[in-house]
Chain A
């Protein structure tokens, strides 16, 4: 295999990894902070891409559709957290039941509204070109996705480490009770973080639409990969989610090329190896596992 083709596969893997990062980051922080495994997180991805699809059909244009879709998905997240999840904090089994049920409802709702045949979100026209990269052509859109992912990672890293909000989140992951005892309005923190997590997953959905396609069932595939990333990367850190996502994205994409029949299996083998060496994940804080 020529190095240029390998290079392209690596870029593809990175693009996929970035999409996963956007979902896993929210999932990881929500899990770390609120101790909720949000099994309905894939629904935000699904919501993001399908809403954007309908808006693009209305000639709204890709970028406006993207923003509107993210706002709507974040709103959905707020409603979900305020009216449903809030009632089950600290009750693990009920959370599983609730979020699992919600994922069924959302997936079936999407099936009902948009049908079951696979749809595709068109690549925005401004990025619908291929760039010449040392002899091979690579779609500019995928490079754009990688760029967005990296920018987001830097932004989130900055927020986590250099701002007051980040300090609150870090403190919350380590000790929730102490945080509220210090006079932080933990309800507002929870709702906002949940909304941000939903928005990130929605963004991932919109950006992923032109690459991954749209079909019901992708939500659970993506959710499972993201959960693996959370386990591999460790709870409650953006950094863990980022490194974990790149790892999973690359292994998954390169695995598809080299060992097509063992693709998903390889991802899980990585998870098991990481768990054997570092039970709390690569960057886990260790308090919750």
Chain B
């Protein structure tokens, strides 16, 4: 069991580290984007899959983080300070908004987070004198971790890879900590956890703030990656896409959202180079997944994988997936 836990990640890390050797410049850039999106989508996957909070305004925290780097970056050019500020400010905004929103659940929570995200979007959109309005603004801060500016695509790639691996590892630690177990307990059975004496609101608030923080962190990386930020980063359409990535990847896992992010970013870049009809194709994919591909691509891949593999491994692989198959059922309406 122990060996098995380590073997796959080691292989995965090795692939990530060696990837720039075989990829083109464009491929390195695309993979960097995938990894940033994966951090963001994992942060959303955390609250959906482990706390049962389905948010449709999570891009607000991502965009906020990106704007912190863009706006503060014009005054001070310290990468550490900027990235930490982005994460902390996003986390604080998540905490304060969470104080209000956590009381609601299900579709109400969905609508409220959506509205909140749109409010932040509107503020950044309208404050033209500060944010450049709809045109967005260029990111002037340079990426420098103390040993020279990181300007090459490959250098940036390695930075993002490390950020992704650390985020993943920390989330992994979080969900197996007593705190994370409490959060999962709430998702499984809220009334039982209340009866056991857990203050479920505190738990939800902690995980929501943490998730906002991570989203802000991803947003900050994105600001450095793209060198340009626009209000679209906060828009609910972007939140919705992230939500779809979580669902497509598989709810209730950590790897799932990351895979969902990779699937969509790569597909989008591929399809967009052939046709302008990407939104329609994406829409058709969503509908098709609902109607035919229940449980997300991770689930499908796992089923195939388990079929192809020798039998003795089966039991070890299945537990990370939700029992019911896709986890949709346990989210309360």
Residue B15 interfacial (CB < 8 Å): no
**A128 nearest CB across to chain B (Å):** 32
Q: Please tell me if the beta carbons of B286 and A92 are within 8 angstroms of each other in the complex.
A: no
Residue of B nearest to A281 (CB): B108
Q: Chain B residues near A103 (CB, 8 Å)?
A: 283
A268 within 8 A of partner (CB)? yes
With an 8 A cutoff between CB atoms, is A175 at the interface? no
Contacts A108-B277, A108-B280, A265-B123 given: A101-B328 contact, CB under 8 Å?
no
Cβ B115 vs Cβ A228 within 8 A:
yes
What separation, in Å, do the CA atoms of A107 and B251 have in the docked complex? Answer: 27
Write out the residue numbers on chain B whose beta carbons fall within 8 Å of the beta carbon of A220: 236-237
Stretch at the interface among B163-171, B191-199, B209-217, B239-247: B239-247
Q: Which residues of B contact A271 (CB under 8 A)?
A: 112, 115
Q: How far is the CA of A275 from the CA of B104 in the complex (A)?
A: 9
* Distance, CA A289 to CA B285, complexed state (A): 31
Asked, given contacts A92-B333, A105-B280, A268-B119, whether A97 binds B237 with beta carbons under 8 Å apart, the answer is no
Q: How far is the CA of A13 from the CA of B15 in the complex (A)?
A: 58
Least CB distance, B272 to chain A, in whole angstroms: 13
Known: A92-B328, A105-B280, A228-B115. A98 touches B251 (CB 8 A): no
Q: Does B72 contact A (CB under 8 A)?
A: no
Task: Name the interface residues of B103-119: CB closer than 8 Å to any CB of A.
Answer: 103-104, 106-108, 110-112, 114-116, 118-119
Is there a chain A Cβ closer than 8 Å to B145's Cβ?
A: no
The interface stretch among B177-185, B219-227, B287-295 is B287-295
Instruction: State the CA gap A91–B291 with chains docked (Å).
Output: 12
Within 318-333 of B, Cβ neighbours of A (below 8 Å) are at: 328-329, 331-333
Stretch from A82-90, A130-138, A155-163, A199-207 at the B interface: A82-90
B279: interface (CB < 8 Å): yes
Task: Report if A90-B333 is in contact (Cβ < 8 Å); known contacts: A97-B247, A220-B236, A265-B123.
Answer: yes
Binds B, one of A70-78, A177-185, A256-264: A256-264
Q: Which of B104, B123, B126, B128 contacts A279 (CB 8 A)?
A: B104
**CB–CB B287/A35 < 8 A:** no
Type the 1/0 row for A89-118, where 1 means its CB is closer than 8 Å to any CB of B.
011111011101111110111011000000
What residues of A have a CB within 8 angstroms of the CB of B100 in the complex? 272, 275-276
What are 11 A-B interface contacts by the 8 Å CB criterion?
Answer: A37-B111, A87-B290, A93-B247, A96-B56, A96-B247, A100-B240, A108-B283, A264-B121, A265-B119, A276-B100, A279-B103
> Could you list which residues of chain B lie within 8 angstroms of chain A, going by C-beta atoms?
48, 54, 56, 100, 103-104, 106-108, 110-112, 114-116, 118-119, 121-123, 125-128, 236-237, 240, 243-244, 247, 251, 277, 279-280, 282-287, 289-291, 328-329, 331-333
